[in-house]
A and B are shown apart, each in its own frame.
Chain A
Amino acid sequence: MESDPKIETIDLNLYYGSFRALTDVNIRIPGRSVTAIIGPSGCGKSTLLRCFNRMNDLIEHADVRGRIMIEGRNILDRDMDVVALRRKIGMVFQRPNVFSLSIYNNLKFGLRIHRMMAKKADIMSAIQDGLEHVGLWDDLKDRLDANAQSLTLEQQQRLCIARVLILRPDIILLDEPCSALDPVSTLRIEELLRVLCAEYTLVIVTHNMQQAARCSDYTALMYLGQLIEFGQTHQIFMNPKEKLTEDYIRGSFG
């Protein structure tokens, strides 16, 4: 595995009140690749994902202990600029969460919040670039004024990814990004992830083991808040080291 990880957690623990949702998680996620986090419902995979951009800060009684190192910095430090962090580490959710605004304004929204660009020409060029990256530009370039909620679910999810991309993030977190999509749209989004990982570090939580097998370079199995095994997807699906991993991916439980 890569010696210099993009994200590294050190003895990461998370409590929701007295419930320990993550137990001593130590994981080193390589850059410019797709890492899938799998495991049965409630195993802590989304909780772990949300640690990476401090989304758990928004949950009352969530207490995060340990360190999460990203580019040499512990992002759990109190003086961390969380808004800037969330620009560098974008997130895509289960259901596409487009705003009831035009396609154009959906994309401009993030740029405005982060005060990234002022000139109209720069904004337009960023929007075009973002839509091209997610394969929507040709379809949507003539109707950027249309309400984003009029798009198909797959297009909406692509738009959400574009909205993350134009903020020039390093890392993109995806929390079951295909669970609202049909199988064909799912495959197309997976293809997109394979293209994006040439430039970005992607971490995807999925309850669909086959999806992890298809589209990730590395796979992590979580169970009861613990990281059971982490390795190259090839190794995990061909010859897992842990019996628990073997049993889970073979469908013996979960």
Chain B
Amino acid sequence: MLREGFHNQIKELERDVLHMGQFVIEAVNRSVKALGELDAKQAKRVMDEDAQVNKQRWDLEDKCVDLIARQQPVASDLREIIAMLSIVRDLERIGDYAEGIGKIVLLHGDQPLVRPLIYLPEMTEKALSMLRRSLDAFVNRDAGQAQQICLEDDEVDRLYDQAYHDLLQHMIEDPSLITRATYLIWAAHNIERIADRATNIAESVVYLVTGTPTELNVSRY
């Protein structure tokens, strides 16, 4: 292939992006597990590891910009690099949401959860499934799958709604729970935002494949 070196660099970047995706998926899972068990040690680990996520973001952005400056990419090569620039920023932000849930664990101190997690595990599963499949769609250049994923955001929004009203009910019944119930709303909100970021990634895939920037689903939150 002509310009094999350049295309290998793009492929390598693509692998790095997927690796970063895997890294943040694990971070989110561990943060939610740490919240369920109020495991401060695990929470601190997630928070510490966010620095690695940030570093991956800067490194990958730098490589993308280097390819733009030095290799004069055009057409689908250019779109892929632009899509990757956007995807790594979304992934980095998802890493921040995991870190945020870690902080919420620490905010609890010695106090228990107001109630066991009810909606959060399911929300997390759905949001991370969207994220995983949006990254699959990126690898497979599957705009159809990407569009499908965006529709699922409504389901995560619905679960967030339920969690919110459920926790609000707790606060009304016992105002002494307001602070800790609010923590859980924050955590749920973080997961809800992860699904929005997965939608952004799916939109980047549609742009990469079709060349048309498209807003596929506007989150209710």
Interface residues, chain A, with chain B CB atoms under 8 Å away: 184, 187-188, 191, 194, 210, 213-214, 233-234, 237-238
Tell me the minimal C-beta distance from A166 to chain B in angstroms: 24
Q: Is the CB of A213 within 8 A of B69?
A: yes
Q: Which B residues between 2 and 29 are near A, CB-CB below 8 angstroms?
A: 2-6
Tell me the minimal C-beta distance from A154 to chain B in angstroms: 12
Cβ–Cβ < 8 Å partners of A213 in chain B: 69-72
Q: Is the CB of A238 within 8 A of B4?
A: no
* A13 to B6 alpha-carbon distance, docked (Å): 38
B2, B4, B66, B70 pick with most chain A CB within 10 angstroms:
B70
Cβ–Cβ < 8 Å partners of A191 in chain B: 2-5
B118 at the interface (CB under 8 A from A): no
Residue in B closest to A185 when the chains form the complex, CB atoms:
B2
Tell me the minimal C-beta distance from B95 to chain A in angstroms: 25
Q: Mark B61-78, 1 if CB is under 8 A from A, else 0.
A: 000011001111000000
Q: Is the CB of B3 within 8 A of A187?
A: yes
Tell me the minimal C-beta distance from B70 to chain A in angstroms: 4
* A233 to B66 alpha-carbon distance, docked (Å): 10
Q: List 12 A-B contacts (CB under 8 A).
A: A187-B2, A188-B2, A191-B4, A194-B5, A213-B69, A213-B72, A214-B6, A214-B72, A233-B70, A234-B66, A238-B66, A238-B69
Q: Which B residues between 59 and 98 are near A, CB-CB below 8 angstroms?
A: 65-66, 69-72
Q: Is the CB of B72 within 8 A of A210?
A: yes
* A213 to B72 alpha-carbon distance, docked (Å): 9
Q: Is the CB of B69 within 8 A of A237?
A: yes
Residue in B closest to A238 when the chains form the complex, CB atoms:
B69
Tell me the minimal C-beta distance from B12 to chain A in angstroms: 14
Cβ–Cβ < 8 Å partners of B69 in chain A: 213, 237-238
Cβ–Cβ < 8 Å partners of B4 in chain A: 191
* A191 to B71 alpha-carbon distance, docked (Å): 12
* A121 to B71 alpha-carbon distance, docked (Å): 42
Residue in A closest to B72 when the chains form the complex, CB atoms:
A210
Q: A188-B2, A214-B72, A237-B70 are in contact. List 19 more A-B contacts (CB 8 A).
A: A184-B2, A187-B2, A191-B3, A191-B4, A191-B5, A194-B5, A210-B72, A213-B69, A213-B70, A213-B71, A213-B72, A214-B70, A214-B71, A233-B70, A234-B66, A237-B69, A238-B65, A238-B66, A238-B69
* A243 to B17 alpha-carbon distance, docked (Å): 34
Q: Is the CB of B70 within 8 A of A234?
A: yes
* A187 to B2 alpha-carbon distance, docked (Å): 7
Tell me the minimal C-beta distance from B218 to chain A in angstroms: 36
Tell me the minimal C-beta distance from A18 to chain B in angstroms: 40
Cβ–Cβ < 8 Å partners of A234 in chain B: 66, 70
Cβ-closest 8 pairs across A and B:
A213-B70, A237-B69, A194-B5, A234-B66, A187-B2, A187-B3, A237-B70, A238-B69
Cβ–Cβ < 8 Å partners of A187 in chain B: 2-3
Residue in B closest to A233 when the chains form the complex, CB atoms:
B70
Tell me the minimal C-beta distance from A209 to chain B in angstroms: 10
* A113 to B5 alpha-carbon distance, docked (Å): 36
* A184 to B69 alpha-carbon distance, docked (Å): 20
* A194 to B9 alpha-carbon distance, docked (Å): 13
* A184 to B5 alpha-carbon distance, docked (Å): 14
Cβ–Cβ < 8 Å partners of A237 in chain B: 69-70
* A80 to B99 alpha-carbon distance, docked (Å): 65
* A237 to B70 alpha-carbon distance, docked (Å): 7
Tell me the minimal C-beta distance from B81 to chain A in angstroms: 15
Cβ–Cβ < 8 Å partners of B70 in chain A: 213-214, 233-234, 237
